[in-house]
Amino acid sequence: MRRSSCHLRGLYQPARPPLREVLVRRRQHRISGREHAVQSPPSFLSSQSPIFRDMFSIPQPPAADDTMVEGCIVVHLQDTMKDIQNLLELLYDTWSVHKFHKPLHVSMLRTMLRMSRKYGFKHLRQEAINRLRMEFPSTLREFGESLGEYRFIDGEVDEIEFSVMLLAREQGIKSILPAIYVYVCVNRHSEDLEKYFVENRHILPVDLPISLLLGRDRITRAVATTTFRWLNKGTVPCKECTIPAVCAATARMISMQLLEMPTANLVQRAVFPWDRQRLEGAPLCAKCVATAKEVFENGRKVVWERIPDYFGLNDPALAGDWDEDEGEAEPEKL
Ligand SMILES: [Zn+2]
């Protein structure tokens, strides 16, 4: 085997055009050359991957001419061309990974997780998991602080939550599942979910649609007994209320709003912080606000703790061998 450089050949999906090859060619540390090619000596891949190191350390018999490209051995990989191209881009342009102000596309995170698991690029896997954990935190406090635009990941607007949800399940990144399931429920109305389930039924885990819808239903039904339990008779107006008639009217108005609210908005009522509820109507007095807010925050904590149960995320079939602390979770069988 010639050690100065090698060519990696990847797989296309069956439905795609005929097999093509990736030529690995390095020119001044930049991706260049033909067909998204970069040049890479085996020593470079070996220095970052124990799998490639073992692969290149095995003595090879002289290669036949038809297995060589431009005098280099061809290495066949059972990965998609997209994953191979992304991997090479990540390895040669490491600055792009560490620029935290620049979000990484979900497809790049997918490559980092899949290829790092397969070939032992541990730093790429940890980096991908760190970004996902910052974007979809596991604690209620961090979740409340993370609301808003995505800061560390990027993707197609219509698909980003769905893509991350599937990726987290595939890679066994259990800690981000509650937050991403909630995001899907908040950002996608019923029509969006139906469309996604129908169009992607061939790739979705069998349990996912029903567990997602059941969880969404459980969260919305919990609103009345948790975060908005203070609307129940006797809580507001509170005993120290300064404007009982106004606070009672406000409570009735908010109750009516909840009854008419779309499901996605109801999920927000169960998990978003008090100051992001944006309920319309006459104000409550300061005493009633304090009473209501205390009940609300206690209810919100209860909902958050129950979310794994609501979505069936504690199912032993999903728990399996997950060991995310080491970033080495076993992938879920889809
Ligand atoms: Zn009051």
Confidence of residue 95 (pLDDT cuts 50, 70, 90): low
Q: In angstroms, rounded to a whole number, what is the distance separating the alpha carbons of residues 196 and 125?
A: 28
State the distance from the centre of ligand 1 to the C-alpha of 242, rounded, in angstroms: 5
Q: In angstroms, rounded to a whole number, what is the distance separating the alpha carbons of residues 217 and 182?
A: 12
Q: State the alpha helices, DSSP H only, in the chain.
A: 42-48, 50-57, 81-92, 94-98, 106-119, 122-135, 140-146, 160-171, 177-187, 190-199, 208-222, 244-260, 263-271, 286-310, 316-319
Question: 52-85 burial string, b = 16+ CB within 10 Å, else e?
Answer: bbebbeeeeeeeeeeeeeeebbebebebbbbbbb
Give the mean pLDDT of the chain: 79
Residues with CB under 5 A from ligand 1 (ion): 237, 241, 247, 285, 288
State the distance from the centre of ligand 1 to the C-alpha of 223, rounded, in angstroms: 21
Higher pLDDT, 320 or 142: 142
Cα Rg of the chain, angstroms: 26
Tokens representing residue 137 in the block: 């935190």
Q: Residues 250, 284: contact at Cβ < 8 Å?
A: yes
Of the candidates 240, 244, 239, 231, the residue with the CA atom closest to the CA atom of residue 295: 231
Q: Answer whether residue 200 shows pLDDT above 60.
A: yes
* Spans of all domains in the chain: 1-92, 99-207+315-334, 223-305
State the distance from the centre of ligand 1 to the C-alpha of 253, rounded, in angstroms: 14
Long-range CB contacts for residues 197-206, cutoff 8 Å, separation at least 24: 200/162, 203/166, 203/334, 204/166, 205/169, 205/332, 205/334
144, with CB counted inside 10 A (0-12, 13-18, 19+), is middle
Q: Answer whether residue 107 shows pLDDT above 70.
A: yes
**Residue that the structure tokens 């109507």 belong to:** 281
Q: Answer whether residue 83 shows pLDDT above 90.
A: no
Tokens representing residue 81 in the block: 């061309």
State the distance from the centre of ligand 1 to the C-alpha of 232, rounded, in angstroms: 14
Q: Residues 217, 264: contact at Cβ < 8 Å?
A: no
Q: Answer whether residue 321 shows pLDDT above 60.
A: no
**Residue that the structure tokens 């490209």 belong to:** 69
State the distance from the centre of ligand 1 to the C-alpha of 284, rounded, in angstroms: 5
Q: Answer whether residue 226 shows pLDDT above 90.
A: yes
**Residue that the structure tokens 């807010």 belong to:** 293
Max CA-CA distance within the chain?
Answer: 91
From residue 45, give the alpha-carbon distance in Å to each of 12, 29, 39, 119, 264: 22, 14, 11, 10, 46
State the distance from the centre of ligand 1 to the C-alpha of 168, rounded, in angstroms: 45
Q: In angstroms, rounded to a whole number, what is the distance separating the alpha carbons of residues 334 and 312?
A: 16
pLDDT at 285: 94
Q: Out of 16-25, 87-96, 113-122, 172-181, which region has the weakest mean confidence (pLDDT)? A: 16-25
**Residue that the structure tokens 């609307």 belong to:** 231
State the distance from the centre of ligand 1 to the C-alpha of 219, rounded, in angstroms: 28
Q: Answer whether residue 233 shows pLDDT above 70.
A: yes
Each residue of 254-294: pLDDT tens digit? 999 999 999 989 999 999 999 888 776 668 999 999 999 99
pLDDT at 3: 41
What backbone torsions phi and psi does residue 121 show, to the nearest 5 degrees? -80, 80
118, with CB counted inside 10 A (0-12, 13-18, 19+), is middle
Q: What is the pTM of this model?
A: 0.78
State the distance from the centre of ligand 1 to the C-alpha of 238, rounded, in angstroms: 6
* Cross-strand pairs, 69: 72
3-class DSSP state of 38: strand
State the distance from the centre of ligand 1 to the C-alpha of 283, rounded, in angstroms: 9
State the distance from the centre of ligand 1 to the C-alpha of 234, rounded, in angstroms: 11
